[in-house]
Structure 1
Amino acid sequence: MTTPQADAEERAMRRALELAASVGPQVLPNPRVGCVLLAPDGSGVAEAAHRGAGTPHAEAAALALAGTAARDATAIVTLEPCNHTGRTGPCAQALLDAGVRRVVFAQDDPNPQAAGGGETLRAGGVEVASGLLADEARALNPAWSRAMELGRPFVTWKLATTLDGRSAAADGTSRWVSSLAARRDTHRLRALSDTMLVGTGTVIEDDPRLTVRAADEAPLERQPLRVVMGERDLDPGRRIFDEAVVGGSLHLRTRDPRAALAALWERERRHVFLEGGPTLAAAFLRAGLVDEVVAYVAPMLLGDGRAAVGELGIESIAAALHLDVTDVRVLEPAAPGEDTNLRITMRGTA
């Protein structure tokens, strides 16, 4: 049987999760976090969410709103209060300084540089409980959480393919293997990342802009970093290098996926959306550096043409790379006459 205190804390945690979810993905490289402060009688004192790098963390923002009313309060937080000084000070110390009596957090902080807030609070005499709605909290920041555990950016590989595994026809034409609905869905997924990555071959052949656009084709205000990797020189006039597009661009002169991810990690990139051609995709797959696969499958057959992925060094069915399907969606036509597409999401190789 639950107690009134436990019920109030669970309600507050669900509210904190709502606050965090309302912010959207623009907080990367930081996680989405919500905080609710409860008075000793269980009533609400203040609430806040983290709004992005350089802005106050959720706990600090809620404490600022509460003022002296934070003393003896219970702080309900979706992520373990941070224990380090980055762009802002440590939230664990801020909670101690404010006189908070109890802290309940959902998810342990997987970032080794920031973890330990719970122990700091306990050492300071604060009651601490963890694990309340932990799965829901982790689901708020799945790519960020996994990136922190891996020590490198989380990699989502997106591909568009025919039923027989072709990304382009024999004459090289590929517009449009995927439907309008699938392309719009791709832009939605792009917006969840902080980095778009392609190879030099894609830039030379397709000259992509790699922007994130709304259904009306208007670019979104927030754009990921546009990155091309490879050793070949590129024409600076290619659209990926357009300085008028927000978000910036970068040419990583390496063919090594690990080196590319390490360089992006140093730039605080946490979620890479891989949209390169079959050669780049194969390089990441061979290296075991694909965490998620999103495949848009069109109900068409080409029989010949460019494969969706390049050579993987697999010579027998026993050595096949198996993926775990986590979601399958039917994308209904968004325009007259177009095909229905499937979106299949899978856990990758890492």
Structure 2
Amino acid sequence: MTAEDDRRFIAHALGLARRGLGRVWPNPAVGCVLVKQGRIVGRGFTRPGGRPHAETVALAAAGDAARGATAYVTLEPCAHHGKTPPCAEALVGAGVARVVSALQDPDPRVAGRGHAILRAAGIDVTEGVLEDEARAMQRGFLSRVTQGRPMLTLKLATSLDGRIATASGESRWITGPEARARVHAMRAAHDAVLVGAGTARADDPSLTVRGLGMAHQPVRIVAARRLDLPVGGALGRTAREVPVWLLHGASAPDRARSDWVTAGARLIEVTETGAGLDPVSMLAALGAAGLTRVFCEGGGQLAAALLMAGIVDEIALFSAGLALGADGRAAVGPLGLDALADVPRYRLTECRTIGPDTLSLWTRD
């Protein structure tokens, strides 16, 4: 196999891995392709819920053809015994001749041990093929393992002048149907959707993925310090059908806690500050719960708090061709900044037209 072949098959494995985004937490979304004499004999990706792993799926598809094949995997094969034996040992047992991986797994239970098992068995191992691409796709898993919190994407849908609603609160719809369809696709690629209590009260959102013909739904999370949300709203009515998690503070009344638990919601108490819930504590709690990718859809106060805490990893900005004026509602609440040096800065990584609107993706360096 040439270096170009290695890149081509790892790229194929990355494409498979993306199918698992939003569905496999707390595990990473991994893809595996088995190639023998230039022909793909097996492939797989981590299945919903995190089991079975991509290598196990690919080996089962290949059967005896795996012997002497090259395995292309997007993340170092696991080396620890959990609910299933280590994938590194499965590859050894299947008799593969070579393993090409994109990225070393930073999980302390792996961290090079998977590659070491393979090499000890006499298997040729090549590391770091399309590593940057793999790192970008695995950003959520890597964040949870190394920082103890999920990757956070902040979605904003605004007018040209950065407003999300008129002065009276009307916001449906600023962006067009194509942009809204893209938002649903982005929700589906995340483990959870997060909004603030104000947005939940004002919009009574369902926060589900619709129009894509899929049964999978992300966890729906509301940051509500005092749990001051109507249990009879869309989230409360469906909490036993699609998970609802509520982040709250110690000041949340016992009656509200009881009502939401009865409705089927999961309550997670986090640290309170004078301004509300502590954003760092919120994300740490979600990481401890196993989430790797969270998609925040506002509102303005929550967006401001997350930005100022320095924990927004990516901004997905949908912009529509209209202006709502200074009396419209701002997409981001007050930041209390006096100097440009204190402003959180992001790097533009993608810009495209979505119907009549534009989508720009900004990444924190």
Matched, 1:230 2:217: no
Counterpart in the other structure of 1:101: 97
In the TM superposition, residue 223 of structure 1 has moved relative to its aligned partner by 0.8
Once the two structures are TM-superposed, the CA of residue 153 in structure 1 deviates from its matched residue by 0.6
CA deviations over 1:261-287 (Å, ceiling 9, x no partner) = 122112211111111211111110110
- Residue matched to 2:285: 263
Distance in 1 between residues matched to 2:307 and 2:87, nearest whole Å = 39
Superposition pairs of residues 254-293 of structure 1, within 5 angstroms: 254=249, 255-293=277-315
AA in 1 matched with 2:344: L
Correspondence for 1:347? 363
Inter-partner Cα distance in structure 2 for 1:323 and 1:270: 21
In the aligned structure 2, how far is the partner of 1:249 from the partner of 1:156?
A: 19
**Structure 1: runs of 5+ lacking an equivalent:** 333-339
Match of 2:194 in 1: 197
1:54·1:88 contact (CA, 8 Å) conserved in 2? no
Alignment match, 1:88? 84
Following TM superposition, by how much is the alpha carbon of 1:317 offset from its aligned partner in structure 2, in angstroms?
3.6
Contact 2:192 2:220 in 1 (8 A): yes
Evaluate the alpha carbon distance shift between residue 43 and residue 302 of structure 1 in structure 2; reply closer, same or farther with a 3 A threshold.
closer
1:64 partner letter: A
Q: In structure 2, do the counterparts of structure 1 residues 61 and 258 end up closer, same or farther at CA, with 3 Å as the change threshold?
A: same
Which of 6, 10, 35 lines up with 2:32 in the alignment?
Answer: 35
* Residues paired across the two proteins, number: 335
The equivalent residue for 2:348 is 325
Work out whether 1:62 is the aligned partner of 2:58.
yes
Structure 2 SS opposite 1:221:
coil
Cα-Cα RMSD: 2.6
2:267 aligns with none
Cα distance, 1:42 vs structure 2 = 5.0
Give the secondary-structure state (helix, strand or coil) at the position aligned to 2:49: coil
Distance, in Å, in 1 between the alignment partners of 2:20 and 2:163 is 38
Distance 1:283 1:118, change over 3 A: same
Structure 2 residues without counterparts, runs of 5 or longer: 250-276
The CA deviation at 1:325 is 1.5
Percent of paired sites with the same residue = 46
Q: 1:1-350 counterparts in 2 under 5 A?
A: 4=1, 9-21=6-18, 25-39=22-36, 41=37, 43-116=39-112, 117-214=114-211, 220-233=214-227, 234-243=229-238, 246-254=241-249, 255-303=277-325, 304-332=327-355, 340-348=356-364
* Structure-2-length-normalised TM-score: 0.82
What is the CA–CA distance in structure 1 between the aligned matches of 2:15 and 2:84, rounded to whole Å?
A: 23
Deviations 1:37-56 (A, max 9, x none): 344x5555433332233432
Separation in structure 2 between the aligned mates of residue 184 and residue 281 of structure 1, nearest angstrom: 22
> Is the contact made by 1:252 and 1:260 (CA closer than 8 Å) also made in structure 2?
yes
Q: CA deviation at 1:14?
A: 4.3
CA distance in 2, matches of 1:208, 1:119: 49
What secondary structure does 2:361 align onto?
Answer: strand
Q: Which moved more, 1:30-39 or 1:99-108?
A: 30-39
Shift of 1:144: 3.5
Whole-angstrom CA distance in 1 between matches of 2:202 and 2:159: 20
Q: TM-score, normalised by structure 1?
A: 0.85
Matched residue type, 1:311: P
Seen in structure 2, the aligned counterparts of structure 1 residues 29 and 183 have a Cα distance that, compared at 3 Å, is same
One-letter amino acid of the counterpart of residue 350, structure 2: D
Indicate if the aligned counterparts of 1:105 and 1:129 stay in contact, CA closer than 8 A. yes
Q: 1:210 to 1:48 in 2, by over 3 A?
A: closer
SS in structure 1 at match of 2:74? strand
Specify whether residues 238 and 47 from structure 1 end up closer, same or farther in structure 2 by C-alpha distance, changes over 3 A only: same
Write the deviation string for residues 299-343 of structure 1: whole angstroms up to 9, x where unpaired. Answer: 2222212211112121134433332111222222xxxxxxx3222
Q: 1:6 to 1:279 in 2, by over 3 A?
A: closer
Distance (whole Å) between structure 1 residues aligned to residue 35 and residue 159 of structure 2 = 54
Runs of 4+ in 1 over 6 A off after TM superposition: none
CA contact (8 A) 1:222 1:247 kept: no
